[in-house]
């Protein structure tokens, strides 16, 4: 079963709009990740299932900045504690 190749101006505008919306959603999630108290921020992206071709929504979780800082502080404290024993 071959996929129909579309190369029209209309299809290109539709694809561009989807990509811009995906980029905007990603930037909004990154902005939220800087200020949230949650450990992660979810990004939902509309896409197409590669197997069936059906429309799908993919969810990606990115860690928040405060969570990353807390984990780095935890690691630093653990290492400092480990090396403080003489």
pLDDT at 3 over 90: no
pLDDT digits (tens, 9 = 90+) for 27-79: 999 999 999 999 999 998 888 887 888 888 889 999 999 999 999 999 999 99
Phi-psi sector, 53: left (phi>0), alpha (psi -120 to 50), beta: left
Helix (H) or strand (E) holding 81: helix 65-84
Q: Which pLDDT value is given to residue 4?
A: 64
In angstroms, the CA 32 to CA 51 distance is 32
pLDDT bracket for residue 84 (50, 70, 90)? confident
Q: The whole model's pTM is what?
A: 0.66
């Amino acid at each position: 079963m071959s996929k129909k190749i579309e190369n029209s101006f209309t299809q290109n505008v539709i694809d561009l709009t989807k990509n811009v919306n995906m980029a905007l959603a990603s930037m909004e999630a990154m902005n939220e990740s800087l200020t949230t108290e949650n450990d992660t921020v979810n990004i939902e992206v509309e896409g197409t299932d590669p197997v069936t071709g059906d429309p799908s929504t993919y969810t990606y979780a990115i860690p928040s900045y405060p969570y990353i800082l807390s984990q780095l502080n935890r690691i630093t404290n653990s290492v400092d504690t480990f090396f403080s024993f003489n």
